[in-house]
């Protein structure tokens, strides 16, 4: 396993991070434990969760994922070996505190509840799951300026996060589903008001959505705010398994509301990437992950799995170095299908 430094902190995280959002919906608690054991055995020390998990988000299941992780952490002990990341939800989702906000009352309650479920007294990385303003995230491309839809200002959110760091309940802070402006605003406020600096940005990044490269990859380098890439296999689509006979128990079959990676252009691009992998004797799933692993602006690749065989295959993506020929073919598909699934 390789390890990278989390932003400007002194925390070392594994290049692969274990995603958790299937635990409590597609995966049982026992399966979550098996995934955790396998991941840790392979040197993964970084685990990503959120107060809203599992997905799809529902009132009846909310918090289960953190609870399973907390139960496992309590049994295992040695909490300090692991880097635990969680997230406070952004607006929407009425079943969480009547609609989350990024103000003091909501964030303090959110962290309190997460710590209880995780059975720990600190989180290593506390992330804002999505912004409290109208902007481009979760697949939105066209920008409409709607300042009247702005709610909690970043300066207020950051002040609360700063107090959490001071209190020792949070070691570092990060953002997710953010834009270049959002990233710079967090950094500017931190500098101007002597508040903590964000260390990471958790955004989607995979062969079907390389939008991070447009404005954020440069910032990741220049500002030392590395990418935590989520959905590196485009919800499993890049394994190619939906192209011929979609599995009945696959996420995209079970939850048709997840349409981000299933449109015609996404499928056409997936077909092209799967062909490259097959031509070069690679597993399409591993090629997709190896591509993400090789990006210079990446701090950690957040992999997901519902089965141990998948997890094993995904962890083994670390052993694959994509040849120049494969990388060139990937670039040529990218020229034809640029960001088919934002």
Active-site residue list = 53
CA nearest to 83, candidates 166, 199, 163, 182: 199
Verify binding: residue 109, ligand NAP, rule CB under 6 A.
Answer: no
Provide the minimum distance between the beta carbon of 194 and ligand NAP in the complex, in angstroms, as a whole number. Answer: 28
Q: Which two tokens stand for residue 99?
A: 């609609």
Of 41 and 167, nearer to ligand NAP (C-beta) is 41
Q: Which of positions 163-202 make contact with ligand NAP (CB under 6 A)?
A: 176-177, 202
The contacts of residue 39 (CB under 8 Å, 6+ apart) are 16, 18, 47, 311, 315
Which of 106, 117, 169, 251 lies at the binding interface for ligand NAP (CB under 6 A)? Answer: 251
Judged by CB under 6 A, the stretch of 19-27, 150-158, 162-170, 219-227 that binds ligand NAP is 19-27
156 CB-contact burial (10 Å; exposed 0-12 / middle 13-18 / buried 19+): middle
CA nearest to 321, candidates 279, 283, 293: 293
Q: Which residue has the tokens 């380098």?
A: 221
Verify binding: residue 48, ligand NAP, rule CB under 6 A.
Answer: yes
Q: Which helix (H) or strand (E) holds 303?
A: strand 298-303
Which of 161, 227, 285, 318 lies at the binding interface for ligand NAP (CB under 6 A)? Answer: 285
Pairing of strands 16-19, 123-128: unpaired
Provide the minimum distance between the beta carbon of 31 and ligand NAP in the complex, in angstroms, as a whole number. Answer: 11
Task: Give the Cβ contact number of residue 309 at 10 Å.
Answer: 9
Q: How many residues does the chain have?
A: 342
Judged by CB under 6 A, the stretch of 13-21, 113-121, 157-165, 265-273 that binds ligand NAP is 13-21
Of 55 and 165, nearer to ligand NAP (C-beta) is 55
Applying CB under 6 A, the site for ligand NAP has a residue count of 30
Which of 201, 205, 306, 340 lies at the binding interface for ligand NAP (CB under 6 A)? Answer: 306
**What are 298's strand-pairing partners?**
227
* Interface ranges with ligand NAP (CB under 6 A): 19-22, 26, 48, 129, 176-177, 202, 230-236, 239, 241, 250-251, 285, 302-306, 310, 313-314
């Amino acid at each position: 396993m390789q390890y990278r430094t989390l932003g400007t902190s002194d925390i070392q995280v594994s290049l692969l991070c274990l995603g958790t959002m299937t635990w409590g919906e597609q995966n049982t608690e026992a399966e979550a434990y098996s995934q955790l054991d396998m991941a840790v055995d392979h040197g993964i020390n970084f685990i990503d969760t959120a107060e809203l998990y599992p997905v799809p988000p529902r009132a009846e299941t909310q918090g289960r994922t953190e609870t399973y992780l907390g139960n496992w952490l309590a049994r295992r002990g040695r909490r300090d070996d692991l880097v635990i990341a969680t997230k406070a939800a952004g607006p929407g989702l009425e079943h969480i505190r009547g609609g989350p906000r990024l103000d003091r009352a909501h964030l303090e309650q959110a962290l309190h509840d997460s710590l209880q479920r995780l059975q720990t007294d600190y989180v290593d990385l506390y992330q804002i799951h999505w912004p409290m303003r109208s902007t481009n995230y979760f697949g939105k491309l066209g920008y409409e300026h709607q300042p009247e839809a702005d709610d909690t200002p970043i300066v207020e959110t950051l002040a609360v996060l700063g107090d959490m760091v001071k209190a020792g309940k949070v070691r570092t802070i990060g953002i997710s589903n953010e834009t270049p402006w959002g990233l710079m605003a967090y950094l500017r406020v931190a500098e101007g008001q002597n508040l903590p600096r964000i260390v990471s940005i958790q955004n989607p990044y995979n062969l079907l959505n390389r939008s991070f490269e447009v404005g954020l990859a440069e910032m990741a380098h220049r500002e030392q705010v590395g990418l935590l890439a989520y959905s590196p296999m485009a919800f499993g689509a890049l394994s190619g398994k939906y192209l011929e006979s979609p599995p009945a128990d696959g996420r995209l079959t079970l939850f048709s509301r997840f349409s981000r990676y299933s449109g015609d252009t996404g499928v056409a691009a997936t077909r092209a990437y799967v062909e490259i992998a097959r031509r070069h004797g690679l597993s399409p799933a591993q090629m997709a992950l190896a591509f993400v692993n090789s990006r210079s602006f990446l701090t950690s690749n957040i992999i997901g799995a519902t089965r141990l065989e998948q997890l094993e295959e995904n962890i083994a993506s670390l052993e694959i170095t994509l040849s120049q020929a494969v990388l060139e073919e990937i670039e040529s598909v990218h020229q034809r299908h640029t960001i088919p699934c934002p």
